[in-house]
Every structure is written in structure tokens, then in C-alpha cells.
Amino acid sequence: MPSSTNVQQTILNGSYALEQLTNNNYTLVNSGDLPVRVDYIQWFRLNVQALTDLYSIGDYVSSTLVTIYDRVNQFVGIPYGATVDPNFQNPSIIIDVTAAASIFNSARIPFTNQTTVQLLNYQTAYKPTYGENPILAIFVSVSGTFGQDEGTAPIYTYVTPGDATTGIDTVTWNYGIATSGYIQISGSPT
């Protein structure tokens, strides 16, 4: 029986192989070579999806999982019934994480000598870059060193006051004395 790590690795290998097959067929179609096997791509995509679904519900032992697991492995090039070393990294596979990382944005917004620190007009100024649910932290300067202020809670004002489902309009932090520091904002666009 395959372990959860083996199933996960097979899903990743299968997804990569499916992407390569799709890209190769796309290149053939664009160059005018029309006899591509779209039905084969669909069959393989359905097998990878079925394996993913079974993995997501924690099924690592059913006969259905083992059959689909072996099918996907055979397509990838792993013989029937073989075990996969989860620590093995195929040197010919390069995983490009640039695209996924580029959708997560982060910035520091400095402020100096403020008793009220605000992010105004969130929907137009920040939502397109950081999304509707940003990760916010505020850092203040204490004797020239910045430290995260975990004691001052932000006050959220919404587009329709009191209705959080309408989205953030303003985020405010209030201080008793003039304070300097920066707001760390992170998130993904919606």
C-alpha cells in the first residue's frame, strides 16, 4: 500500500507530466500538426484528479486508490507496484515558484510622529494589491529599535459602517503619544 507521502509525490509527478503533455500538444497544434490526442490528456487529467480527491479524504489503502495510483505512476514512467522514495528529486524537473510567489505582495508603510495611524481608502488604494483580507502588523520605534506592537488593536471601518461583508474602508491605530514606525501589509490581490 502506498503511503500518504508516496501518493502526494505521485500527484505532483502526475500533474507535472500532464502539464508537459498539454504544453507539447499545444505546441503541435500551433505549428499546424493537428492529429493530437486530446482524449488521452482528458483521461490522464481525470486520473490525476481522482487520485487528488482520494488523497484529500485520507484514502491511502482502497483498491480504487491503488489502481489509480499505479495508472498515474505508469504514465509518469514508474513501473506497476513500485514504491517511490519521497526524498528523491528528479534532476530533470525544475519547479518554478516565481509565478506563485509573485501574487503575494508585501510592503512597509512608514509613519512619523503620529498619534493616529491610518490606512485610508482601502478599497481603492490597497485592495487591488493586497486583497480583501490583508495581513497587517504595526511596528513602532522604541529608542531607535523597531518592535511589533501587539497591544494596540486596529480599528476597522467598513464601506457600510458595521457591515464587515462590504469590505474594509479604513484601518486605524490610536496612540496616546506621538509615535513613529511602519505598518507591515501583506496579501494577495483578489
Q: Of 122, 126, 128, 137, whose CA–CA distance to 168 is shortest?
A: 122
Per-residue pLDDT tens digits of the chain, which is 190 residues long: 677 777 778 888 888 877 877 777 767 666 665 555 566 677 778 888 888 888 888 877 788 888 888 888 777 766 555 554 555 555 555 555 444 444 678 889 999 999 999 999 999 999 998 888 888 999 999 888 888 898 898 999 999 998 888 999 999 999 999 999 999 998 888 6
pTM: 0.47
β 135-142/163-187 pair status: antiparallel
From the centroid of its chain, how far is CA 173?
29
Cα separations in angstroms, 55 against 11, 66, 73 = 9, 11, 15
Per domain, the residue ranges of the chain are 4-85, 105-187
pLDDT computed for residue 99 by the predictor: 47
β 145-148/155-160 pair status: unpaired
- What nine digits make up the cell of 138? 504595526
Asked if residue 111 lies in contact with residue 183, where contact means CB atoms within 8 angstroms, the answer is: yes
Asked if residue 138 lies in contact with residue 154, where contact means CB atoms within 8 angstroms, the answer is: yes
